[in-house]
Structure 1
Amino acid sequence: MISFSCRLARSRFVLDAAFSFPGGCTALFGPSGSGKSTIARLIAGIDRPDRGRIAVGDHVLVDTAAGIREPVHRRRIGLVFQDGQLLPHLSVRQNLAYGRYFAPREASAADFDEIVELLGIGHLLGARPSTLSGGERQRVAIGRALLAAPRLLIMDEPLAALDIARKHEILPFVERLRDTVGLPIIYVSHAVDEVARIANRVVRLAEGRVVAEGPPEEVFAAHMPTTPADRFEAVSFLSAAVLRESPEFAVSILAHPAGEIVVPALLGGDRGEVRVAIQATNVSLAVERPHGLSVRTILKGRIRRIVEGSGASAAVTVELAGGDSIAAYVTRHAVADLSLGEGCEVYALVKAVSIDERGVGRFDSVKHSKVRSE
């Protein structure tokens, strides 16, 4: 269990936040200036809270009331930043060995070869950081952090400096890390697609405070937006199995109880069940099953809830066969024109190209490997 409860006041910003999570990958999500990185720095010991308590399991890192503030070098917090921060004069192998240097003697050391294989960096061991791509540098930085035998891994906007191609390159490795290492991870990000794919819990922040906490499907559920931009952060998560691929069209077809879901990527037939993130603004509704459309994903369901705002929008939640729900933002005009109401049978329509393949995540029950540090 990781628990955090701290207050830190600065001239233009006040952080007053509390949350806890049992393990797995928890995302700190929110806009720039919401306090995400400040929390990471407090946990790592880079900053000091005015008051509060931070603990990883039974190990107390900070307790201002009890006068406890463990030094940074004894906290065993692995940090991965945007740029990797590798030592430029050392090879990849030497950078990794540098991480092992900080592992305490009493900790069970992670296996070097297993970490290298996990992150797919064996062919890079003799290279210098200046010759690596952004994604490769981040994988080496993750390896260095793991070899230091941390109690907790913090990834602070690790993909923010990467282009889309490099994000595609590194996300599967972060997924693999989450599923196999068994190390609690705090993932700092303001990108919905990353959080949707990586996290099994989300702490949403705004202006230094926790405004929502829970599973991604609850935190990102559709609601009446307080600002126009808020509607783009409402996301539904559907679980489906890879049914088949069509390499000639570069798409994968997923089997869901409510219908087939077409994803604009080749996911691999061995991926089993995946989680698909669909933005509410990319969902349309029909009262009859449509024909002759370019839309490939047509999911049958029943309206569970309609929330109308004072403006043009209405947030509609549709319960699908199989238990999943999908949200749609439509106009209040459409609700009236189609006579939509709670209990109505409808079809949720999603254009394949509107599904961000970066948000298609694999969540399985892979057993934790011996990489985990105690």
Structure 2
Amino acid sequence: MMLSVSIRKDLGKTLGPAGVFSLDVEFEAQPGVTVLFGASGSGKTTTLQSIAGLLKPDSGRIAIGGDALFDSERGIDLPIRKRRVGYVFQNLALFPHLTVRANVEFGINGPDRRERARRADEIMEALYIRHTAGRLPRDISGGEAQRVALARALCCGPRLLLLDEPLSAIDEATKLGIIDDLKTLNRQLRLPIIYVTHSRDEAVALGAEVIIYERGRVIARGEPLEVFGSPVTMSVARLTGVENIFEGSVITKSERAGTMTVRLEDSSGVCSLEVPLSSRTPGEMVKIAVRPGDILMATEEPRHTSARNVLRGNVLTIEQRSDRTVVRVASGVCWSVSVTRQAVDELELSAGKEVWLAIKSHSCHLLEV
């Protein structure tokens, strides 16, 4: 059962020079997990609210399996209760005065109390929270609360499941467990699951397809590894965590080697880089993006390597982030390189130390100008 969305909504938000912010998106989602990825305020949650019936678009159409939930031309706007859409909010929205069981049963329609209890037990068992049935939300862990919210959304027998950054407030270990649960549910239920996140790791782990939002527009879509691994525009590169983005000009081209040489320049200086061959001509300006994780670092000059670019430089700074260490290196231009904490220790990296960077030409992505 496929979800199709084609909507426009004027949100009346001013974004400085950008003017009025409006949502104008069109996409289809097959059974399975489709990830909506983008910065905060790009329109992802507004899309979910429109699908659920919490917000009315100005125009367009939303349908599940051919059944219209909203159609501005035909005057269709189904009430929330008739849409059969499960929704997990970012803040979970559990009822604090109700037990876990009562929260889960709240999502079940029908007067038969025994059937509601049976259905709730079934879902709670599948999500490993049946032991919490008699507790209040304040007495369970963050991961358990996430599962309660998911169970409540599933108990209504939805045709579609909407998840709005459901894992943003829990630790990594719990997050991985819930991601595994979602994968299992996806295989069992085979319904469209729309998952909103700004975490690249969650998008790669969960999504069969990722749709990238920027300021109310879809700017890219496809398999997560393809979209994140080979960005084609400046916006996609920045949104997906590419820190090395440079402007430069084409110097030479080699049909035989399948590469071309580009002279890069930033405020730190200039350097030359061998990148994949394209239709760009010598003298033409280009933008090049290289992921920090696609650069190898050594303290001695690498020899007999397949990497087309070997650059000498000096360490500027070492920054420890939550999941990795980023080393800033001056080598003509200023590079950001991702390494492990262990690599920092083993290479005895410190500010001023001479290092070598190895970059494959196919790790250099030409962006649309």
TM bucket, shorter chain = 0.5 to 0.7
Change in CA separation of 1:339 and 1:39 when aligned onto 2, cut-off 3 Å:
same
CA apart distance, 1:31: 0.6
1:123 matched to 2:137 = no
> 1:45 is aligned with what amino acid?
G
Q: Which of 87, 95, 98 is the equivalent residue of 2:106?
A: 98
Per the alignment, residue 8 of structure 2 pairs with: 7
Matches of 1:160 and 1:197 in 2, distance apart?
A: 15
CA distance in 2, matches of 1:151, 1:315: 50
TM-score (norm 2): 0.63
The reply on whether 1:208 has 2:209 as its aligned counterpart is: no
Residue 241 of structure 2 aligns with which residue? 233
Inter-partner Cα distance in structure 1 for 2:240 and 2:190: 32
Contact residue 102 and residue 148 of structure 1 kept, 8 A: no
Show structure 2 runs of 5+ residues with no match. 14-20, 246-256, 277-289, 310-337, 343-369
SS of the aligned residue for 2:69 comes to strand
The 8 Å contact of residues 80 and 158 in structure 1, kept in 2 or not, is answered as yes
- Written as runs of structure 1 = structure 2, the 5 A alignment for 1:201-280 is 201-223=209-231, 226=234, 230=238, 233=241
The within-5 A match list for 1:313-328 is none
Residue matched to 2:47: 39
Could you list the per-position Cα deviations for residues 292-339 of structure 1 after superposition, in whole angstroms to 9, with x for gaps in the alignment? xxxxxxxxxxx998896844796979xxxxxxxx986449xx99x978
Q: SS state of the match for residue 101, structure 1?
A: coil
The answer as to whether partners of 1:29 and 1:203 remain within 8 angstroms in 2 is: yes
Q: What amino acid does structure 2 have at the position aligned with 1:189?
A: T
Check if 1:67 corresponds to 2:68: no
172-181 or 148-157, larger mean C-alpha shift: 172-181
Any idea what the Cα deviations from partners look like across 1:182-223, whole Å, max 9, x if unmatched? 222000011001111111111111111001112112221233
Compared CA separation, residues 31 and 306, structure 1 to 2 (3 A): farther
What amino acid is aligned across from residue 18 of structure 1 in structure 2? E
Deviations 1:321-360 (A, max 9, x none): xxxxx986449xx99x978559xxxxxxx96779xxxxxx
Q: How many residues align?
A: 269
Residues 1:232 and 1:183: Cα distance change in structure 2 (over 3 Å): closer
RMSD: 4.0
1:113 CA drift (Å)? 3.5
Letter of the 1:128 partner, please give it: L
Match of 1:134 among 132, 136, 142: 142
SS in 2 for 1:78: strand
Say yes or no: does 1:78 pair with 2:83: no
CA deviation profile, 1:129-168 (whole Å, cap 9, x unmatched): 1101111111011111111111100000101222334423
Name the amino acid aligned to 2:58.
D
Cα distance between partner residues in 2 of 1:103 and 1:19: 37
AA aligned to 1:199 is: G
Residue 33 of structure 1 deviates from its aligned partner by 1.2
2:29 aligns with one of 21, 35, 38: 21
Check the 8 A contact 1:83/1:138 in 2, yes or no: no
Distance 1:353 1:40, change over 3 A: farther
8 A Cα contact 2:101 2:120, kept in partner: no
- Deviation, 1:232, is 5.4
2:152 is aligned to 144
Match of 1:265 in 2: none
Q: Is the 8 A contact 1:157 1:187 kept in 2?
A: yes
With over 3 angstroms needed to count, the CA separation of the structure-2 counterparts of 1:60 and 1:98, relative to structure 1, is same
State TM-score, norm by structure 1: 0.62
Unmatched tracts of structure 1, length 5 or more:
235-278, 282-302, 318-325, 343-349, 355-374
Mapped to 1, the partners of 2:187 and 2:262 lie a distance apart of 40
Q: How far, CA to CA, are the matches of 1:120 and 1:61 in structure 2?
A: 33
Asked which structure has the greater RCO (Cα within 8 Å, sep 6+), the reply is: 1
Query: Match of 1:195?
Result: 203
Deviates more, 1:5-14 or 1:38-47: 5-14
Q: Contact conserved, 1:280 with 1:329, CA < 8 A, in 2?
A: no
Aligned to 2:63: 55
Q: Alignment partner for residue 172 of structure 1, among 167, 171, 180? A: 180
Quote the offset at 1:118 in angstroms. 1.6
Using the TM superposition, name which of 222-231 and 51-60 deviates more.
222-231
The share of aligned pairs that are identical, in percent, is: 39
Alpha-carbon displacement from aligned partner over 1:251-290 (angstroms, at most 9, x marks no partner): xxxxxxxxxxxxxxxxxxxxxxxxxxxx999xxxxxxxxx
Whole-angstrom distance in 2 between the partners of 1:126 and 1:211: 46
Q: Deviations over 1:88-138 (max 9, x none)?
A: 11111111111113799xxxx994333222201111111111101111111
Say if 1:228 and 1:14 are closer, same or farther in 2 by CA, change over 3 A: closer
Contact kept, 8 Å, 2:40 with 2:198, in 1: the verdict is yes
Letter of the aligned partner of 1:3 in structure 2? S
Relative to structure 1, the CA distance from residue 16 to residue 226 in structure 2 (aligned partners, 3 Å threshold; closer, same or farther) is same
- Distance in 2, matches of 1:181 and 1:353, equals 41
Structure 2 CA distance, aligned partners of 1:28 and 1:309? Answer: 36
Q: Deviation of residue 49 (structure 1)?
A: 0.9
Asked whether the equivalents of residues 28 and 187 of structure 1 are also in contact (C-alpha less than 8 Å), the reply is: yes
- Paired residues of 1:315 and 1:329 also in contact (CA < 8 A): no
CA distance in 1, matches of 2:274, 2:52: 40
